[in-house]
Structure 1
Amino acid sequence: MTLDDRAAPAIEAARPRTANPGLLALGMDGFAGFVDRMDQMRRALADLGELGDATVAKGAGRLSAQLDLVEPSITFIGQVKAGKTSLINAMTGWPGLLPADVNPWTSVVTSIHLAPSWATAAAGASFRFFDPQEWDRLIEKGGRMGELASRAGAEEELEKVRRQIERMREKSKGRLGRRFELLLGQEHRYGVFDEALVERYVCLGDDLDDDEGEPFDMRGRFADITKSADLFVDHANVPFKLCLRDTPGVNDTFLMREQITIGAIRDSRLCVLVLSAHQALSTVDMALIRLISAVKAREAVIFVNRIDELSDPASQTAEIRDSIRATLKKHEGPADAPILFGSAFWGQHALEGPLAGMTEASRRALVMLAGNETPTAEDAWTLSGIPALYRVLGERVAEGVGGEAIDRIARSVGNLARGVTAAQRSIGLAVTGGHAVQVDTARITRDLAQIEQRATAALETAFAAQHEAFCVRLDRSHHNFLDRATAALIEHLEKYGEGTVWSYEPTGLRILLRSACQVFGKRMQGDARAILDATAAEVAASYRAAFGLNEALAIEPPAPPRLNPPVAIAQTIALDVKGTWWRRWWLRRRGYRSFAAEFYKMIREETSPILDELSRDHAQTIRADLLRTLATFLDEQREIVTALAEKTAPTAEDLGVALGYQERADRLRQIESAVATMRQEAA
């Protein structure tokens, strides 16, 4: 469903609004290496396209389109009131773009797609609503928290959750009236947007008794049921497409936002944890530690915001850094993740113009760090930490998702160049030998189909074997944890009796499950790499046979795809919740056997869905990515071979071109060599 733009008031085009746009370029130098590789790749593709061959031009155009689609995404998670949204607004160059004072009910993942002015990107905004199944799960079961309380037998907590859900549902129906049910599962799209439109979908307004007479642009009108928002913004200083993803908090009543945030992290390669300088990283933030522990350390960055509120930021930041490192180490988090400090508030004031509007305390902190009684907007922007954050993200993009995307395209460029070279040699042989090379195109097509069939079967066989072993490891880890936890419970009961409430930390289970996922992923990638290597060798053999070549011809296989982080491990389970309901569960038990048996059952049922998700969704995603990588590679080769095979019975024009085939072949080798050198330098 699309909402017609005419229903909305006139809105200006979506682009940053700032008095000091030049500041946005500071920090973008961190992307220079990656941008240089993109430019080199574009030049190589342009050179391929200029060889005057329709087949080459088609392949180069397809690869150029892939390069234009590269859009690294960065997911921001954080504490409540840490200033995460304000930080994203400042990084976007549009203070006030996203409402920073959203109601705790809001569960919207907002993706801001930044694009340079030359890029062709879908403009405007789109907002997607929860589908009926997601809403029913919340209403009927109370979300994850309701399911948890139900399994624990915490009737009072469950009833409390149900009452809160009922109030939320009534408020939602009050806002939307009879349209409420119809909107679920739908989408609204706009060609342009502004702050007021964004607030309509992601920020809750006041409660209303009667919805019917309200204006269309009411603040927060659709926020109850909005699941995700995508905003497309022109950004003159961004050198390529970049997505900044704002997530809801993870500590809501129903654990609904936790599930949404977990999904956002799964889809990104970089995660920024935003903390408040006042809160640092306390034990109440275990959900955040669990989330960043699920991703690789090189894919996590910690940004401590609001240092403008510290009395002595220069010395206090060192203490905060040490505290964060110690907390991460204690709780098995990524202790070596980079920790940056800054102030979105300073960044916002630097962008908007005069610094005189700052609070006295904030200005005093800025003066202290700047070492200057009259700091400039550039000083404030630099000390905001945003340029430093962009530089760190630039390094991570170059070595991670961005670098991998360029390497994937570089492999395809090399293969395309080698394929064209093979055809040129074939035509050259026809010229010098006075005969045409006849190729059975149908046979080539059959050969490639058989190669794909064998490779697909090999991948499926390897996956089935590794998946079976993975499930065994998961089950073993699960039972070992339950046995140890139950033994610890019995030991507690024997030592302290039933009057002292016991608790148990589930970190050990998460470590075991994460290890099982790592072993599965590493072994599956090893098997896939061997299969892809063998497939590329078979394709190369088909090239040699098709074009009558005796010399060696190498086709480079694709790299196995990156493994998504097993973020399901991070979701809250019963043992993470140290609330009053746990005490009530404990006090209702009678007898050691009752404690042990009921505890074992409750935690088994509570953690089994995590294992199910890992063995099913996580594993099947890996399988699908591997099969897609294989299919894409062979589709690419099929396109090259079949198109070039048609030229191996040269026409008069082909023969005329072929007289200069050596010059073209030399140029192709130069392109191939340039791409190979670029990859070596990047490595």
Structure 2
Amino acid sequence: MTLDDRAATAVEAARPRTENPGLMSLGMDGFAGFVNRMDQMRRALADLTELGDATVVKGAARLSAQLDQVEPSITFIGQVKAGKTSLINAMAGWPGLLPADVNPWTSVVTSIHLSPSWATAAAGANFRFFDPQEWDRLVEKGGRMGELASRAGAEEELEKVRRQVERMREKSKGRLGRRFELLLGQEHRYGTFDEAMVERYVCLGDDFEDDEGEPFDMRGRFADITKSADLMVDHANVPFKLCLRDTPGVNDTFLMREQITIGAIRDSRLCVLVLSAHQALSTVDMALIRLISAVKAREVVIFVNRIDELSDPAAQVAEIRESIRATLRKHEGPAEAPILFGSAVWGQHALQGTLAQMSEDSRAALDALARHDGLDGGAAAATPEDVWTASGIPALYRALGERVAEGIGGEAIDRIARSVGNLARGVTAAQRSIGLAVADGQAVHLDIPRLARELDAIEARATLALETAYDAQRQAFCVRLDRSHHNFLDRATAALIEHLEKYGEGTVWSYEPTGLRLLLRSACQVFGKRIQDDARAILETAAAEVSATYRAAFGLDQTLAIEPPEPPRLNPPVAIAQTIALDVKGTWWRRWWLRRKGYRSFASEFYKMISAETAPILDELSHDHAEAIRTDLMRTLATFLEEQREIVTALAEKAAPTPDDLGAALGYQARAERLRQIEGVVATMRQQAA
């Protein structure tokens, strides 16, 4: 059997296998408002489908498909040994799905796509490998850390990185043999999967043979080169599609995983920072603070795991919470983010029905918490539901539910609601025009080519206006970025000279780059707000012009108003969070310092190194970050106007019907009443959401 044959072999159905899967419903009530809005929207689309012609039905089907594809994504980041993966497994209702003992070396971002049983989703798993360019960057330059060390002139550190890279490359070739280079840039797809398959791609092992006789099922066989894994899981207790994304740590030798995690956060709207109850007492990793600081506080939830290992969790929680808040305030983190406490271990035992198999310490902690919460009999009397609640997972789901409804989920439904309202209003316009014609005993004559030309002209004007506004705001953005960069470098260099004058060259100086990150974040916020304001005005003008065009074509009054789409949300500028030279406190920085001689040498070389080290961040913000905003804006405008063309196409199919045809086939008065009801439902939903 070839490698491809084995890759295509089905394993078993991707469904959670636990004793108490119904526990997942506890906590899902936090999504009730969001689910209710989705159901209302589905009913409105069904009504619209019944009333519309073939083209309107097509538009409604497209919007229904968009609604079915709404999948809020939640990215989990955390400290080493915080139990992040165990927490995700419990939240997915599948203990053991992802290996919790993954070697810290692994760089895989694993996304678990939870889908309700009724949803039609692509089943199975998809594993993507690093492409040759990414691998070459690691091998030739030692990743981000190698580039940093090279700029700093830290030859010893650079050589150490190169040796580690070489060992990793030889190990990977040992695992994969001749297939190593062939697999780069490729992916493996499966119709179904199990835990053993997941371990082959995301969990590193050390037992392998050097020849091609090694077993295909070997643990960690592909883990060295796997970049991402997507697992599709059916779950009866999940009311809508939801993605739980597990990320690698951020403190690896090559800073490769930091880059990968930054990309994962950029693609998500919600972020859960998982801390250990023991580590959280002292400090939060600075790399993690930098990451969550790039995300809005309302989109961050902090979960303190492993309270099952505390001697008295009820009494210690307040102390831990205040310690975390103080650390976040000190380092400009999201100090107002909610902080929840729990235990993934308790959650897994509750799901598996293995409460009797808890460790003695875990049971003692649960007993202390149960008695504090007033449960007679303590842990001995606790039901799986009690333990599941104590695990903190229901509370975490409820916190996430609020944020989904307010954020990405609510925005997605609102976007679809606007389109549904516009589609209903377009059909209403046609019906009213037809109704007037029937009343006069006249046929309906619409100049469809002229309508299409006017829509093209509206799009051309709006596109030009949007391009012009974007170019102007991006230019101002780049100026602000450069000014922030140079101001930081001038202040840092001045602080260095002051240090040298005060303490001389024998004392190593340090300087925090937090100021630079705050300046860059402020520049991104100003750019985002201004371009969204410009885009909102342009979209409103385009919608007003479309409305006027319809009114003129149908001979209607001022009551017809097409609603513009909202400008797309902006991805967080997480590139700001990446490690730079001033974040590194290792021995190489001391060696760099001691090799400098003379104040002028210190100042000029420091300025040059930090300028080169931070320049890639500015490039990322001014190019990739800004271009992504432009792409989303243009897509929003194009989608909006394409929807209007669908309405025009629907009207073209009704060109010049006779009054008798209309009265018999359309029943326009009854249909008009139903359409008003649909518009009313959509308007009520929007008001309630606001």
Aligned to 2:478: 471
Give CA-to-partner distance per residue, 1:147-190, whole Å, 9 cap, x none. 00000110000000000000000000000000000000000000
Match of 2:563 among 556, 567, 571: 556
Alignment of 1:654-665 (within 5 A): 654-657=661-664, 660-665=667-672
Separation of aligned partners in 1, 2:646 and 2:51: 18
Q: CA deviation at 1:680?
A: 0.5
The answer to whether the 8 A contact 2:72-2:243 is kept is yes
Shift in CA distance, 453/589, structure 1 to aligned 2, threshold 3 Å? same
Q: Counterparts of 1:378 and 1:611 in 2: how far apart (Å)?
A: 50
* Residue 647 (1) aligns with residue 658 (2): no
Partner of 1:446: 453
Cα separation, 2, equivalents of 1:17 and 1:624: 42
1:516 corresponds to which residue? 523
Determine if the alignment matches structure 1 residue 597 to structure 2 residue 601: no
Q: Secondary structure at the match of 1:513?
A: helix
C-alpha change, 1:667 and 1:5, in structure 2 (3 Å) is farther
Q: How far 1:654 moved relative to its partner?
A: 4.0
CA contact (8 A) 1:272 1:303 kept: yes
In 2, distance between residues paired with 1:594 and 1:267? 42
Q: Which amino acid aligns with 1:11?
A: V
- State the shift of 1:56 in Å: 2.7
1:208 deviates by 3.3
Q: CA deviation at 1:55?
A: 3.0
| Contact 2:208 2:218 (8 Å CA) reproduced | no
Judge conservation of contact 1:426–1:648 (CA < 8 Å) in 2. no
Aligned partner of 1:461 among 458, 468, 478 = 468
Determine if contact 1:127/1:188 at 8 Å carries over to the other structure: yes
What letter corresponds to residue 41 of structure 1 in structure 2?
M
**Shift in Å at residue 10 of structure 1?**
5.5
What SS does structure 2 have at the residue aligned with 1:199? helix
Partners of 2:645 and 2:226 in 1: CA distance: 43
Q: Determine if the alignment matches structure 1 residue 482 to structure 2 residue 489.
A: yes
| Aligned residue runs from structure 1 range 313-392, under 5 A | 313-371=313-371, 372-374=378-380, 375-392=382-399
Separation in 1, partners of 2:9, 2:57: 45
Distance 2:5 2:367 in 1: 46
Question: What are the within-5 Å matches in structure 2 for residues 532-611 of structure 1?
Answer: 532-611=539-618
3-state SS of paired residue (2:74): strand
Q: In structure 2, do the counterparts of structure 1 residues 5 and 20 end up closer, same or farther at CA, with 3 Å as the change threshold?
A: farther
Tell me the equivalent position of 1:394. Answer: 401
Q: Deviations over 1:654-679 (max 9, x none)?
A: 42247731221111011101110111
1:611-664 CA distance string (max 9 Å, x none): 000000000000000000000000011111232133141146742247731221
- Contact 2:446/2:655, CA 8 A, preserved across alignment: yes
The code of the aligned residue for 1:624 comes to T
Q: Counterparts of 1:437 and 1:119 in 2: how far apart (Å)?
A: 42
| 2:115 is equivalent to residue 115 of structure 1 | yes
User: Contact conserved, 1:437 with 1:548, CA < 8 A, in 2?
Assistant: no
What is the DSSP-based 3-state SS (H/G/I as helix, E as strand, rest coil) of the residue aligned with 2:279?
Answer: coil
After TM superposition, the structure 1 = structure 2 runs for residues 259-338 of structure 1, keeping only pairs within 5 Å, are 259-280=259-280, 282-283=282-283, 285-338=285-338
> Are residues 1:149 and 2:156 paired?
no
Equivalent position of 2:211 in the other structure = 211
Match of 1:426 in 2: 433
**Aligned equivalent of 2:630, options 617, 623, 627:** 623
- Separation (CA, whole Å) in 1 of partners of 2:474 and 2:582: 28
What is the aligned length?
682
Structure-2 separation of matches of 1:337 and 1:385: 16
- In the aligned structure 1, how far is the partner of 2:283 from the partner of 2:7? 47
Partners of 1:423 and 1:645 within 8 A in 2: no
SS at match of 1:50: helix
The answer as to whether partners of 2:305 and 2:343 remain within 8 angstroms in 1 is yes
Moved more, 530-539 or 272-281: 272-281
- Pairing 1:527–2:529 present: no
- The residue that corresponds to 1:224 in the other structure is 224
Taking a change above 3 Å as real, the CA distance of residues 392 and 3 of structure 1, as seen in their structure-2 partners, is farther
Q: RMSD in angstroms over aligned alpha carbons?
A: 1.4
User: Does the C-alpha gap of structure 1 residues 653 and 60 become closer, same or farther in structure 2, counting only changes over 3 Å?
Assistant: farther
CA distance in 1, matches of 2:397, 2:129: 31
> CA separation in 2, counterparts of 1:10 and 1:627?
42
Question: Where does residue 43 of structure 1 map in the other structure?
Answer: 43
User: After superposition, what is the alpha-carbon deviation per residue over 1:60-92, rounded to whole angstroms, capped at 9, x for unaligned?
Assistant: 111111100000000000000000000000001
AA partner of residue 39 (structure 2): D
Could you say what secondary structure the match of 2:301 adopts?
strand
CA distances 1:431-463 after superposition (whole Å, capped 9, x unpaired):
112222322211111111111111000000000
SS in 2 for 1:553: coil
* TM-score, normalising length: structure 2: 0.97
The answer to which of 428-437 and 334-343 deviates more is 428-437
Amino acid at match of 2:606: F
Asked if 2 retains the 8 angstrom alpha-carbon contact of 1:354 and 1:377, the reply is no
Distance 2:357 2:153 in 1: 54
Q: Say which SS state the counterpart of residue 544 (structure 1) adopts.
A: helix
Gaps of 5+ in 1: none
Partner of 1:18: 18
2:111 and 2:231 in contact (8 A); partners too:
yes
Partner SS for 1:398? helix
Residue in structure 2 matched with residue 173 of structure 1 by the alignment: 173
* Structure 2 CA distance for aligned equivalents of residues 281 and 609 of structure 1: 35
**Other structure's SS at 2:357 match:** coil
Structure 2: distance between partners of 1:221 and 1:62:
41
**Stretches of 4+ moved more than 6 A in 1?**
none
CA contact (8 A) 1:294 1:570 kept: yes
Q: Which segment drifts farther, 387-396 or 369-378?
A: 369-378
Q: 1:658 to 1:430 in 2, by over 3 A?
A: farther
- Pick which of 283-292 and 543-552 moved more: 543-552
CA–CA distance in structure 1, aligned partners of residues 468 and 614 of structure 2? 29
- Contact 1:3/1:188 (<8 A) preserved: no
Q: 2: CA distance between counterparts of 1:649 and 1:399?
A: 46
Aligned equivalents of 2:384, 2:437: Cα separation in 1? 69
Please give the secondary structure, in 1, of the residue aligned with 2:333.
coil
* Worse-superposed segment, 203-212 or 336-345: 203-212
1:3 is displaced (CA, Å) by 7.0
1:11-57 CA distance string (max 9 Å, x none):
22001111111211110000000000001111111111122532332
3-state secondary structure, aligned to 1:126 = strand
Secondary structure, aligned partner of 1:26 = helix
The one-character-per-residue Cα deviations of 1:569-619 (angstroms, maximum 9, x if unpaired) are 000000000000000000000000000000000000000000000000000
Q: Summarize the Cα distance change of 1:502–1:605 in structure 2 as closer, same or farther, 3 Å threshold.
A: same
Shift in alpha-carbon separation, 1:35–1:659, aligned structure 2, 3 A:
closer
Q: Distance in 1 between matches of 2:522 and 2:281?
A: 25
Distance change in 2, residues 1:629/1:281 (3 Å): farther
